[in-house]
Structure 1
Amino acid sequence: MSARSDRVAQWLEPRTEEMVGLLSRLVAEPTENPPGTGLGRCARLLEEEMRRLGLEAELIDITGPHRLEDPYVVRGSTGDGAKLLYFHGHYDVVPAQDREQFRLRRENGELIGRGTADMKGGIVSMLYGAAAAKELGLLTNGRVVVHLVPDEETGSVVGAGHLRDHHLIDPSAVAVVTGEPSGTSIWNAARGAISLRVGFEGREAHVGQAAFGVNTFAHMVHVARPLLAYAEEMAAKPTGYPMDPGDPTGSMVVVGGICGGGSNFNVVPADAWFTVDSRFNPEEDLHAELERMRALIRDAAAEVDAKVTVEVTQFQPPAGTPAEHPAGVALARCVEEVRGEPARFAMCGGILENRWYDQLGVPAFAYGAGRLDVSHGPHERVDEQELVRTAAVYALYAADVLA
């Protein structure tokens, strides 16, 4: 550990209890999305904490059509100068399996609760990393801007999309880091996403006169078959990006994650639907793959004379910054300085809000204390000391890229 990382550690470690206390208060805010409730209360807590830590803070009202309850972008900043570094995070969480998950538990160095890994723990590390950089005079020629948004768990168009649509992202920024649960890896790339809702229209008939009906369930099964074969094909096409150990390397397509239809067990169903959700590797052309899926659906429907509709519910491009980019090299150097071991780059198996910055040419990375394999689960957790170490990485990274 270097002299400067010693300095950062000496500032952060006495504040470990503060960090745990903030995480406890954030976990206690049930910002479940869907449906997207409790967001305003959590946003105001974050604004208050930013000010307490010496950051300039503001709430940006999210306008336009949305279904969220009282959502805000929470924007904090510190430092002065020409260069700009973004820290980015989201404060919504997936629905809990049990209401007890909104009470932080501390066991054997682990902090357990909804959002600890994804990514309220990351938010705590970012805020304390920015505060450490400010208090220790590490921001010599630039500033850190922290963006905290809702809606990541349901597409992020309302939250992070608001930043881009209202020109709140400066394309000249040197980099963005989001605190997603990357474990000990740096995620420098992420998959793109296409989501579909495939619907069918038929004709009802009583079971005793089933021959007069048009069975949409039968149509749904027929159309799903070629899509299932397509999913197997895409899974067999590996990416050229490194992946975390054990992660599948092909593009992932889930057919029928949700499905429904019909009015009763003894009636021919006049309606049916199913979803298709996909995560495509950066090498794939998303427009071409969307057309392929539409063609498979259209051709299979024609074989059985099915009336079918296809609604695109999500279309988000992949993101990727080369590991050898100077901003990536600097982040890897800071991770190694804090952890004492070489940093490893990998592609995230899902999608990241990095894409909103990547589309504007900002080098984009994810590095956070949590682990993806426990995120969203009933035992979601984060290592207490990793929160502190990650905050140190953020502080040192700000010092390096803003020098």
Structure 2
Amino acid sequence: MSHRAARVEAWLDERAEEMALLVERLVAVDSENPPGRALGRCARVLRDAMDRLGLSPEIVDIADPSGELEEPCVVRGTAGDGDRLVYFHGHFDVVPAQHRGQFTAVRRDGKIFGRGTADMKGGIVSMLYGAAAAKELGLLGGGRIVVHLVCDEETGSVVGAGHLRAAGLIEPVALAMVTAEPSGGGIWNAARGALSVRVDVRGREAHVGQANLGVNAFQHMLHIARPVERYAAEMAGRHTGFPMNADDAPGSMLVVGGLSGGGSNFNVVPGSAFFTVDGRYNPEEDLEGELKRLTGLIEDAAREIGADVSIRTTQSQPSAGTDADHPAAVALARVVSEVQGAPARFEMCAGILEIRWYAQLGIPAFGYGAGRLDVSHGPGEHIDEAAMRRCAAVYALYASDMVS
């Protein structure tokens, strides 16, 4: 380990207990999304912590067109000043818990267990302390770190990160962006795009005794879903050129019928039915073209049997990627190797990431965090405390190298 890395890690090690306590406080706020509860309360915990760390925080209230999120907001903070800029980005909403006990953090064997520890309240703590270390140790020169913490990543991030983009709060001149997603110490330099649609089929109800008078929407739905299933299998066979984790499939992944339903009773011909299609598309795919192809398959199948259908696009988010040989990527890999003592690995995230909001503006953007994807969202979600501090050191040193 280099002298400068040892200096940063020593600063962080002295604050290991307060870092862990902040994770515990954040876990205790049940900011589940959906439904999007306790978001303002979590933001205030973050604001207070950032204030103690000298990160000049503010809470930016934002509008949620759906009205479903509770006190939607963004928390912003800054370390240093100057024109050269790096963004640290995170989200403080979490997926719903398997049981309420997950909102009481448990420390055991050097790990912190609880909902959101890996994805990504533990990562937020790493970013905040990394920014504070860079500032306090004088590593930023004439540059600065801007911290963005948003409230709705788990349901698409259009309200939170979307507001940052729409309000001009992301400066295109930034040199890089890092988000503390649970990459397990690898660097996610790319992520898939997302397409989600809902297909509604309308029929005509009739009593089972006069079923011949009805139009069975369920049967129509089955016919329409078959070409979609074949399409999903085809897309799974179209592999990405980006390296991926060994556990992740290289093809674009689609789930047909993740949600489905219809009908009013067991003895009535169903007059309505629906199913969803949710896809994660590799960066090589043309998202707009695939949406047209998918809707075309559904419409053609409906015409074959005279089915009455409607298709609603519920999500359309582009993929994102930064080449591993980009100077910002090379700099991050160098710092990761310096701190971890092993070569950094680049991978594509199997899902979507908020790096897309920055990459669309030409900002090199990466996911890098101490959490592990294989435990995120599960009943045993946890984060390793030492790994959390190592990531904080990476954040501090990377910002230093980029802006000073």
Considering the TM-score relative to the shorter chain, is it more than 0.5? Answer: yes
Q: Return the alpha-carbon distance in structure 2 between the equivalents of residues 38 and 184 of structure 1.
A: 29
Secondary structure class of the residue paired with 2:356: helix
Q: Return the alpha-carbon distance in structure 1 between the equivalents of residues 134 and 385 of structure 2.
A: 20
Question: Aligned AA for 1:33?
Answer: N
Alignment correspondent of 2:185: 184
Q: Return the alpha-carbon distance in structure 2 between the equivalents of residues 245 and 201 of structure 1.
A: 43
Question: Aligned AA for 1:135?
Answer: E
Secondary structure class of the residue paired with 1:56: coil
Q: Say if 2:159 is the partner of 1:153.
A: no
How do 1:269-280 residues align onto structure 2 when only pairs under 5 Å count? Answer: 269-280=270-281
Q: Return the alpha-carbon distance in structure 2 between the equivalents of residues 213 and 89 of structure 1.
A: 51
Gaps of 5+ in 1: none
Q: Return the alpha-carbon distance in structure 1 between the equivalents of residues 105 and 283 of structure 2.
A: 37
Q: Give 1:145 deviation, angstroms.
A: 0.3
Alignment correspondent of 2:29: 29
Contact 1:185 1:244 in 2 (8 A): no
Gaps of 5+ in 2: none
Alignment correspondent of 1:142: 143
Contact 2:193 2:317 in 1 (8 A): yes
Question: Aligned AA for 1:188?
Answer: N
Q: Give 1:83 deviation, angstroms.
A: 0.2
How do 1:344-363 residues align onto structure 2 when only pairs under 5 Å count? Answer: 344-363=345-364
Q: Return the alpha-carbon distance in structure 2 between the equivalents of residues 185 and 179 of structure 1.
A: 11
Contact 2:64 2:72 in 1 (8 A): no
Q: Return the alpha-carbon distance in structure 2 between the equivalents of residues 8 and 218 of structure 1.
A: 63
How do 1:1-400 residues align onto structure 2 when only pairs under 5 Å count? Answer: 1-63=1-63, 65-66=65-66, 67-400=68-401
Secondary structure class of the residue paired with 1:295: helix
Q: Return the alpha-carbon distance in structure 1 between the equivalents of residues 160 and 82 of structure 2.
A: 27
Q: Return the alpha-carbon distance in structure 2 between the equivalents of residues 79 and 212 of structure 1.
A: 73
Q: Give 1:78 deviation, angstroms.
A: 1.0
Q: Return the alpha-carbon distance in structure 1 between the equivalents of residues 225 and 286 of structure 2.
A: 22
Question: Aligned AA for 1:48?
Answer: D
Contact 1:193 1:351 in 2 (8 A): yes
Deviations 1:139-182 (A, max 9, x none): 11200000000110001000100000100000000000000000
**RMSD (CA atoms):** 0.7
Q: Return the alpha-carbon distance in structure 1 between the equivalents of residues 55 and 376 of structure 2.
A: 29
Q: Return the alpha-carbon distance in structure 1 between the equivalents of residues 98 and 83 of structure 2.
A: 46
Deviations 1:43-67 (A, max 9, x none): 0110110010111110111035232
Contact 2:190 2:349 in 1 (8 A): yes
Q: Return the alpha-carbon distance in structure 2 between the equivalents of residues 384 and 78 of structure 1.
A: 23
Q: Give 1:109 deviation, angstroms.
A: 1.5
Q: Return the alpha-carbon distance in structure 1 between the equivalents of residues 107 and 63 of structure 2.
A: 38
Change (3 A) 1:101 1:64: closer
Q: Give 1:108 deviation, angstroms.
A: 1.2
Q: Give 1:110 deviation, angstroms.
A: 1.6
Q: Return the alpha-carbon distance in structure 2 between the equivalents of residues 191 and 391 of structure 1.
A: 26
Question: Aligned AA for 1:200?
Answer: V
Secondary structure class of the residue paired with 2:227: helix
Q: Give 1:107 deviation, angstroms.
A: 1.5
Deviations 1:306-327 (A, max 9, x none): 0000000000000001111111
Secondary structure class of the residue paired with 2:14: helix
Question: Aligned AA for 1:241?
Answer: F
Q: Give 1:184 deviation, angstroms.
A: 2.0
Question: Aligned AA for 1:114?
Answer: R
Q: Return the alpha-carbon distance in structure 2 between the equivalents of residues 64 and 204 of structure 1.
A: 37
Q: Return the alpha-carbon distance in structure 2 between the equivalents of residues 362 and 240 of structure 1.
A: 22
Q: Return the alpha-carbon distance in structure 1 between the equivalents of residues 308 and 268 of structure 2.
A: 19
Deviations 1:251-284 (A, max 9, x none): 0011000101110011110010010000000000
Secondary structure class of the residue paired with 2:316: strand
Contact 1:129 1:395 in 2 (8 A): yes
> Percent of pairs identical after alignment?
66
Secondary structure class of the residue paired with 2:15: helix
Secondary structure class of the residue paired with 2:58: strand
Q: Give 1:124 deviation, angstroms.
A: 0.3
Question: Aligned AA for 1:118?
Answer: D
Q: TM-score, normalised by structure 1?
A: 0.99
Question: Aligned AA for 2:8?
Answer: V
Question: Aligned AA for 1:99?
Answer: R
Q: How many residues align?
A: 403
Q: TM-score, normalised by structure 2?
A: 0.99
